Amino acid sequence: MKSRYVIGAIIIALAIGASVYLLSESQIQYTTITYARTAGKKVQIKGKWVQRDQATYDQSANTFRFILQDEEGTTIPVVYRGAKPNNFELAEAVVVRGRINGATFEASDILTKCPSKYEGRSPLQTQLP
């Protein structure tokens, strides 16, 4: 009967260990392109679209490409297998999640931060005629 308790304790310990490992792997940290090149894991990078280089969407392959510049000024080509995000051209900032493969960042998600329609108006805009 005691062997049941030992086996049960081992199973519980393994389950806890696996849960802790999976939780630590699922956390995605913000980083720079320089760090992402050496990280070898999924990261997220905040930056902006380099507008002088055109963003392209290939409808037949369902692939969106653009150049991202991080907060340090480093740039990298981004490939996203999916549709171009809404209001991409209006975005103040872009956050890409994914990993670097060779010289390209392969994004699994793209988040855009657009100007807020809820920002306060200046006193001149709120005055009535």
Other Cβ atoms closer than 10 A to 79 = 14
- Asked whether the predicted pLDDT for residue 116 surpasses 90, the reply is no
Residue 125 in domain: no
Residue with tokens 């975005």: 91
Residue 68 in domain: yes
pLDDT band at 122 (very low <50, low <70, confident <90, very high): low
Instruction: Write the CATH number for 87.
Output: 2.40.50.140
Tens-digit pLDDT profile for residues 28-50: 778 899 998 888 888 999 999 99
66 touches 55 (CB < 8 A): yes
Residue with tokens 């070898």: 40
Integer-rounded Cα radius of gyration of the chain: 22
Tens-digit pLDDT profile for residues 6-15: 888 899 999 9
Residue 20 in domain: no
Residue 8 in domain: no
Residue 69 in domain: yes
Other Cβ atoms closer than 10 A to 119 = 7
CA distance 68 to 50: 6
pLDDT band at 61 (very low <50, low <70, confident <90, very high): very high
Residue 21, token pair as written in the block = 């490992």
Residue 57 in domain: yes
What's the confidence (pLDDT) of residue 54?
A: 85
Instruction: Determine the average pLDDT of the residues in 88-92.
Output: 85
Residue 126 in domain: no
Residue 56 in domain: yes
Domain count along the chain: 1
Range of the domain at 90: 30-113
